Amino acid sequence: MSRTQTVMQVMEPPPQGARVGAAASLGDAVAQGVPLVAHVHDATLREPRVLEVDRFSLYYGGKARALWDIDLAIPKGKVTALIGPSGCGKSTLLRSVNRLNDLIDGVRITGDMRLNGDSIYAKDVDVIELRKRMGMVFQKSNPFPMSIFENVVYALRIDGVRDRRILEETCERSLRGAALWDEVKDRLHQSALGLSGGQQQRLCIARAIAAEPEVLLMDEPCSALDPIATGRIEDLIADLKGAYTVLMVTHNMQQASRSSDYVAFMYLGRLVEFGPTNDVFITPHRKETEDYISGRFG
Amino acid sequence: MQWLTAGALAICLAMIAGLLALVIVQGAPTFWPAALVQVRLEGGETWLGEVVKEERFAPSEAIFAAAPPDARTRAEKEAAASEGTVRRRLFRTGNFELTNEHFRWIDDFRVVEESRPERAVVLERTEWGRFYGTPKAFLVDGKPIAEGPAAWAEFEARRDAVRDRAEERRRLEKEAAGALNRRLRAGTLEVKRLELKHGPKSSEAAAARIRVEEEARLLEAEGATVRARIEALDRENARYVLSMTTSDGREHPIPASEVVRGYEANRLGVVDRLAVYASRWAEYLVDEPREANSEGGVWPAIFGTVVMTLLMSLAVVPFGVLAALYLREYARQGALVSAVRIAVNNLAGVPSIVFGVFGLGFFCYAVGGSVDRLFFPEALPSPTFGTGGVLWASITLALLTLPVVIVASEEALAAVPRSMREGSYACGASKWQTIRRIVLPRAAPGIMTGMILAMARGAGEVAPLMLVGAVKAAPDLPVDGEFPYLHLERSFMHLGFHIYDLGFQSQNSEAAKPMVYVTTFLLILIIVALNLAAIAVRARLRRRFAGGHF
C-alpha cells in the first residue's frame, strides 16, 4: 500500500482561472481547457452531507486527465445517481471514493474527498480502514468462491470476528436487507456460485451492507441483469434509502428517474449539473443535460 | 488446416499408444509359466528349458561346415526353402551352477528329438536362478523317503512348513538381529557423543561406557538366543532336500528351503497356470528383490518412488507458489521481473544430470556435511545426512520441477478475475487477506495442475537420482515402524533407477530384459495413479471454487 501512496500525492489545486458561467457552452469551455462551474440546484445545498468531493481531479499516467475539478456533496440517506455518456468519468469518480483506483499503476489525483468530515486522500489515511466504512457493488456480480454465508460475513471475517452468534445475526440481517433471506435461508452453506445472476447481485449488496457502511457505492448494479432482476434490485434500492446513503452509477435514464433522489450529470470528465432528480429531468439548466436526458446524444 | 492439426494429434496418440503397447506386449507374458521343452541334439547333448524367443538367421559357411552331416543336410534344406535363413530358439536352461549359463541359443537343424517331459519341473530358487529337471528323490536327513513322482508329491506336501521356517528365519535375521545391532550401535554413539561433549576422560563418558557395556552384555545374550533360534530353524530345514535329475542325467541336490516356487510346467492346466502367473505378480509387487534385482519383487522400489515423489511435491509446491505469488502479486512488473521469469523458464531446460551434480555437491556434501558436523558428530566419519538420501533426492527433484510449478501457478494467479480482487479490497481486505482468502483458493486448481505436471516429471526422472540417493539395493525402507518413522537420511530404491539397473547393469541380462518392460509398465501405472489422485483432488476444488450456473 505504501508504494501506491507515494505515487498518489495530493497536489496543490491548479490556480484559479477564468470560470465560465451558466450561459457559455460546454463545448467551448472544453475546447479552451478552462474550468467549468457546475450548475448546482439550490435544493441539494440544504441537505446534510455524507460525502464531499472537493475540487477533485484524476489523471491516468502522465497526461490523460479523467476528472476535472469535481465539486460534489452527496446528501445523507438519499440515493444519488451519476449519469452521463460512456467515458465521462462517472465510474472513475465512484471508484475514487473508496480509492480502488489506487490499484492501478500511475494514477495521480489532486483535490480531496471527505467522508463525514474525514479526509479520504490525506497522507496518513489508512486505506483499509477507510474502505471498511464503505460498501461497493460492482457492475458484474462478483460473489467470492465460497459459501453464501461466508460471502456475506466476509468483511467481518477479515476483521477477525469469530463469534458465531454475531456472524449469524449479521448474515441474516444483511440478507434480509438485500431481500434475499427467504430465497437462500435453507442453503446458506452452499456455494454462492450456484445462485442466479440476480440473486448473486443481491448477495453482493448483502455483502456490501454487512459492515453498516456510511455510504454504499453502486457501479451500474443492474446492467448485467434481466428486467425482472433489475426490478427487484431497484425495489431493494428504494428499501435501502434512508438507512443507507447510496451513490450509484447508471446508464439507464429510466432507472435514474425511478430510483434516485438526486442526479449528477457528468460529461467529458466534468460535473455539469447536479440537483434533485425531478428538477434536473423536468427543467434542466444546461443544454448538454437536456440533450442527454432527452436522448439526443450519449 | 483441420487435417494438419488432426494429423499431428493422431501421430502423438499413435506414438503413445505404440509405446504402451510395446511395454504391455513385452511385459505381460513375463510371468506366464511357459511349457518345458526338452531337445536332444545330434551329438546326444540334451537341454531342458523354456523357449523365450525365436528368430531366423543366415548361418555362415563355417556353421554349416561344423555341423555333422545329417544336421548339415537338414540345415541346407531349411536354408534353401527360406532365403538362406534357419530358425533358432533361445532356451532358458537355468541350472547355472552346473552349466555356467542361464540361456542358450539352439539351432533347429541340430535338434534330433524334441519332447515335453511330463514330469519335468521348474524350481525358482533364492539363489542361482531357476533349476530345470525331473525330481528323483526326496531326502530327509540324507535318506530318500520317496522316489520319482512320489518325491514331488512329498516335496509339495512339506513345502509350506519349510517355507514358513525359512520366512521366520529371514524375519529373525532382519528384524530381531537388526534391532539388536541398532541398539548396540546407538549405545556406542551415545558414548562417543558424551566423550565429544565432556571429554573422553569425563565421569559422564565413563558412566555411559559402563552402562553401554552392561547393555551390550544383555544384548549379546539376547543375540545368542536369536542366533540359536536361527540355527535351529536352519538345521531343521537342512534336513529336507529334493534330489533332481537334469536333462543330461546328472543328479543335483536342492535344499527344499531354497525353493521359492516350483511347478510341473507340462502338467499345469489353464487355472494352474493362472495361479502361477498371479502368484508371480504378487511376489513382484510385494516382495524384495533377489538375484541382483533380476528376480523377486520391487516393493522397496515402489515404496521409494512414491515416498520420494510425495516428499518432492511437499517441497516444490509451497516454494513454487510463494515464488509465483511474489512475481505476480507483489513485484513491480518490469524488466527485472521479466528477466527473472525468463531465467525460471530456462531453468527447465537445464539437463537433469546437472541438477544431480548440484544436489550432490550442495545438498549432500555442503548442507548434509554441515548437518552431520552439527547434529551427528558422534557418527563421523561415516555420514548420516552427508550422503545421498531420500530427503536430498526429493529436494533436488523439487528444484528440477520448480519452473513447472512456478509457471503454472503464475498463470493460475493471473487468471483470477480482477473483479474478485476488487470486491475483496472494497470490503476492506488487505492485500494478504485478499490473496489468502480469494486469490489462492480460486487459483488452487491451476496450482494443482502445476503439481501434477511436476509429479509426472519428477517420478520418471532417473539421472539426478543416481547421484543423490537412489541405490541398487536399499537395506531399509525410508518409512518404517521405528522412531522417527520417516528416515529422511536413508538411501532408497526407485523404479526408474531399477529399470536402468536391470537393463544395463544386470549380469543375467536376458532374464532382466522382460523385467525391464514389467517395471516400466509398473512405473507408468504408479505415475498415472498419483496423477489421478491429484486430478481427483483438483476436480473437487474446481467444483467448490469455480463453476456455477453459466
What's residue A13's pLDDT?
39
Residue of B296, B239, B263, B304 whose CA lies nearest to B495: B304
The radius of gyration of chain B's CA atoms, rounded to the nearest angstrom, is 31
Chain position carrying cell 500500500? A1
Residue A191 neighbours by CB distance under 10 Å? 21
The cell for B139 is 531326502
Q: Which residues pair with B89 in a beta bridge?
A: B54, B106
Rounded (to 5) percent helix, strand, coil in chain B: 65, 15, 20
Q: Which residues pair with B47 in a beta bridge?
A: B39
**Region B197-203: what's the mean pLDDT?**
77
Q: Decide if B426 and A3 are in contact by the 8 Å CB cutoff.
A: no
pLDDT band (50, 70, 90) for residue B531: confident
What's residue A32's pLDDT?
64
B423, B437, B441: residue with CB nearest A142: B423
What's residue A198's pLDDT?
86
Sign of CA dihedral B531, B534, B538, B539: positive
A1: nearest CA partner in chain B: B431
Q: In b/e form, how buried is each residue of B300-313, taking b as 16+ CB within 10 angstroms?
A: bbbbbbbbbbebbb
**Region B302-329: what's the mean pLDDT?**
91
A14 CA to chain B: closest CA distance, Å? 30
What's residue B150's pLDDT?
87
**DSSP 3-state of B38:** strand
Q: Which domains does chain A have, with CATH numbers?
A: 2-133+213-293 (3.40.50.300)
B183 CA to chain A: closest CA distance, Å? 51
B333: nearest CA partner in chain A: A105
Number of H helices, E strands in chain B: 19, 13
Q: In b/e form, how buried is each residue of B126-136, taking b as 16+ CB within 10 angstroms?
A: bebbbbbbbbb
Among residues of chain B, what percentage have pLDDT more than 70? 98
Cis peptide before B300 (omega within 30 of 0): no
CB A141 within 8 A of CB A204: yes
Tell me, letter by letter, the H, E, C secondary structure of chain A.
Answer: CHHHHHHCCEECCCCCCCCECCCCCHHHHHHHCCCECCEECHHHHCCCEEEEEEEEEEEECCCEEEEEEEEEEEECCCEEEEECCCCCCHHHHHHHHCCHHHHCCCEEEEEEEEECCEECCCCCCCHHHHHHCEEEECCCCCCCCCEHHHHHCHHHHHCCCCCHHHHHHHHHHHHHHCCCHHHHCCCCCCEHHHCCHHHHHHHHHHHHHCCCCCEEEEECCCCCCCHHHHHHHHHHHHHHECCECEEEECCCHHHHHHHCCEEEEEECCEEEEEEEHHHHHHCCCCHHHHHHHCCCCC
B33 CA to chain A: closest CA distance, Å? 56
The ranges assigned to domains in chain B are 37-132, 143-238, 306-495
CB contact A211 to B (< 8 Å): yes
What's residue A28's pLDDT?
64
Q: Decide if B427 and A207 are in contact by the 8 Å CB cutoff.
A: yes
What's residue B15's pLDDT?
95
What's residue A4's pLDDT?
37
DSSP string, B262-273: EE-GGG--HHHH
B233 pLDDT above the threshold of 50: yes
Q: Decide if A193 and B428 are in contact by the 8 Å CB cutoff.
A: no
- Ordered per-residue pLDDT tens for chain A, 298 residues: 344 333 333 333 343 333 444 445 666 666 666 667 778 887 777 888 889 998 899 988 877 888 888 888 999 989 999 998 888 888 999 999 989 888 888 888 889 999 888 899 988 889 998 999 999 999 888 898 888 999 999 999 988 888 999 999 999 989 988 888 888 989 888 888 888 888 999 899 999 988 888 899 999 888 878 888 888 888 888 888 888 899 999 988 888 888 899 999 998 888 888 999 988 899 888 888 888 888 776 4
What's residue A136's pLDDT?
92
- B485-497 pLDDT, tens digit per residue, is 777 778 888 888 8
The cell for A69 is 475539478
Residue B343 neighbours by CB distance under 10 Å? 10
Q: Decide if A138 and B442 are in contact by the 8 Å CB cutoff.
A: no
What's residue B550's pLDDT?
34
Cis peptide before B381 (omega within 30 of 0): yes
User: Mutate which of A144, A156, A161, A225 to disrupt the B interface (most B C-beta within 10 Å)?
Assistant: A144
Which of chain B's residues have a Cβ under 8 Å away from the Cβ of A194? 548-549
pLDDT band (50, 70, 90) for residue B546: low
Rounded to the nearest angstrom, the gap between the alpha carbon of residue A130 and the centroid of all alpha carbons in its chain is: 15
What's residue A30's pLDDT?
64
What is the rounded CA–CA span in Å between residue B549 and residue B532? 26
Contacts of B368 (CB under 8 A, 6+ apart): B383, B384, B385, B386, B387, B389, B392
B116 pLDDT above the threshold of 80: yes
What is the rounded CA–CA span in Å between residue B490 and residue B473? 12
What's residue A33's pLDDT?
63
**Region B19-45: what's the mean pLDDT?**
88
A98, A140, A157: residue with CB nearest B426: A98
**Global ipTM:** 0.85
Q: Decide if A103 and B428 are in contact by the 8 Å CB cutoff.
A: no
The cell for B140 is 530327509
Tell if the pTM clears 0.90, that is, is over it. no
B427: nearest CA partner in chain A: A155
Residue of A62, A59, A61 whose CA lies nearest to A109: A59
B18 pLDDT above the threshold of 50: yes
Q: Decide if B549 and A142 are in contact by the 8 Å CB cutoff.
A: no
What's residue A21's pLDDT?
44
A199: nearest CA partner in chain B: B549
Question: Taking all residues of chain B, what is their mean pLDDT, rounded to a whole number?
Answer: 86
B423, B430, B547: residue with CB nearest A144: B423
What's residue A11's pLDDT?
38
A127: nearest CA partner in chain B: B428
Which of chain B's residues have a Cβ under 8 Å away from the Cβ of A144? 420, 423-424, 437-438
Regarding the domain with residue range B306-495, which homologous superfamily does it belong to in the CATH classification? MetI-like (1.10.3720.10)
pLDDT band (50, 70, 90) for residue B223: confident
Look up residue A151 and give its amino acid.
N
Q: Decide if A103 and B545 are in contact by the 8 Å CB cutoff.
A: no
| Chain B residues with at least one Cβ partner in A under 8 Å | 332, 417, 419-431, 433, 437-438, 441-442, 544-549
Cα→Cα distances A49→A83, A96, A216, A271, B272, Å: 20, 18, 14, 18, 93
What is the rounded CA–CA span in Å between residue B476 and residue A66? 71
Residue of A72, A30, A83 whose CA lies nearest to A266: A83
Chain position carrying cell 440476480? A198
**DSSP 3-state of B472:** coil
The cell for A101 is 483506483
Q: Decide if B430 and A134 are in contact by the 8 Å CB cutoff.
A: no
Contacts of B354 (CB under 8 A, 6+ apart): none
Among residues of chain B, what percentage have pLDDT more than 90? 18
Q: Decide if B427 and A132 are in contact by the 8 Å CB cutoff.
A: yes
Q: What angle do CA B171, B172, B175 make, to 5 degrees?
A: 70
What is the rounded CA–CA span in Å between residue B150 and residue B145? 9
A129, A158, A191: residue with CB nearest B427: A158
pLDDT band (50, 70, 90) for residue B207: confident
CB contact A229 to B (< 8 Å): no
CB contact A129 to B (< 8 Å): yes
B426 CA to chain A: closest CA distance, Å? 6
A142: nearest CA partner in chain B: B420
- B383-396 pLDDT, tens digit per residue, is 777 777 888 999 99
Q: Which long-range contacts (CB under 8 A, 24 or more apart) does A118-122 make?
A: A121/A8, A121/A10, A122/A10
Tallying the residues shown for chain B, one arrives at 550
B206 pLDDT above the threshold of 90: no
Chain position carrying cell 536332444? B40
